């Protein structure tokens, strides 16, 4: 009788690349702060004033996955949510998400000392610092992983991308981290519905910027 061990193991090479590369990129981001030491050594190369960590995440979470999509997967960026997609639904969902999240963020930002302490120092550079930081972050989860996994697993990819998204929040305030498995699913569903990572990016941009502003206002 054929045993489990003797069965041929057939793995999808694209799924392997998606999983391994995304995991390594998250680990590099965590352990190396920053990767781009040259921007600190030669300040004139970074005359824009963009935080060095943003440069890291743009390369790690956007440029590297995009290069793999184009040159290794031989696919179009649009197949991974890079585009406007269903912009009418996207605008409606973005506005709806902002309306729903605003009072929740207001209460949490005012009431949780850990949130205030964590986010208050980030007020400098708003609003551009948050969208530049989140652009690559959102593409990694709601573009690269969501639509990459969806090609194999269909809508189950919405949950699959939410797991590493939640784990990547470890070290942030507890109330935020505990919510991210559900928030990651919601962002994933919006990207799935609109076929674009842009609308979760816009909502995430608002969430991050608004919580920073509230935290700064009510610190102490």
| pLDDT confidence of residue 45 | 45
Residue 194 in any domain: the answer is yes
Show the domain range for 107.
13-217
- Domain tally for the chain? 1
Q: In sequence order, which residues have a C-beta less than 8 Å from that of residue 149 and are 6 or more positions away? A: 15, 18, 156, 157, 160, 161
Residue 5 in any domain: the answer is no
**pLDDT, tens only, 35-58:** 666 555 545 445 555 667 778 888
Residue 2 in any domain: the answer is no
Ranges of residues in the chain whose predicted pLDDT is under 50: 1, 42, 44-45
| pLDDT confidence of residue 118 | 87
Residue 59 in any domain: the answer is yes
| pLDDT confidence of residue 5 | 55
| pLDDT confidence of residue 31 | 86
How much is the pTM?
Answer: 0.90
């Amino acid at each position: 009788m054929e045993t489990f061990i003797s069965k041929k193991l057939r793995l999808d090479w694209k799924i392997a690349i998606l999983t391994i590369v995304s995991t390594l990129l998250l680990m590099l981001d965590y352990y190396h702060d920053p990767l781009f030491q040259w921007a600190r050594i030669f300040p004139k190369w970074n005359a824009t004033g963009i935080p060095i960590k943003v440069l890291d995440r743009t390369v790690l979470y956007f440029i590297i996955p995009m290069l793999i999509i184009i040159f290794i997967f031989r696919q179009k960026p649009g197949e991974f949510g890079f585009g406007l997609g269903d912009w009418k639904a996207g605008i409606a969902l973005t506005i709806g998400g902002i309306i729903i999240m605003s009072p929740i963020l207001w209460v949490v930002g005012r009431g949780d000392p850990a949130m205030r302490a964590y986010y208050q120092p980030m007020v400098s550079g708003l609003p551009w610092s948050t969208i530049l930081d989140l652009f690559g972050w959102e593409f990694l989860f709601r573009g690269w992983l969501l639509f990459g996994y969806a090609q194999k697993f269909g809508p189950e990819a919405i949950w699959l991308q939410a797991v590493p998204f939640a784990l990547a929040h470890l070290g942030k305030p507890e109330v935020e981290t505990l919510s991210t498995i559900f928030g990651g699913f919601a962002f994933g569903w919006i990207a799935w519905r609109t076929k674009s990572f842009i609308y979760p990016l816009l909502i995430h941009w608002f969430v991050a910027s608004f919580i920073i502003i509230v935290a700064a206002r009510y610190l102490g």
